[in-house]
Amino acid sequence: MAGPNIDDIDLQILGELQGDGRMTNVELARKVGLTAPPCLRRVRALEESGAINSYHAVVNPSMLGYTITVFAMVSLKSQAEADLKAFEDHIATLPEVRECYMLNGEIDFILKVVAKDLQSFQQFLTSKLTPAPNVVSVKTSLTIRTSKSLPGVPLPV
Per-residue pLDDT of the chain (157 residues; tens, 9 = 90+): 456 689 999 999 999 999 999 999 999 999 999 999 999 999 999 999 999 999 999 999 999 999 999 999 999 999 999 999 999 999 999 999 999 999 999 999 999 999 999 999 999 999 999 999 999 999 999 999 999 998 889 998 6
Q: Which domain holds residue 18?
A: 7-47
Domain of 13, CATH number, reads 1.10.10.10
Per the structure, the count of domains in the chain is 2
Beta strands 68-76 and 109-115 are antiparallel
Helices (H), 20-98: 25-32, 36-49, 81-92
Tell me whether residue 154 is in a domain. no
Considering the domain architecture, whether residues 133 and 84 belong to the same structural domain is answered as yes
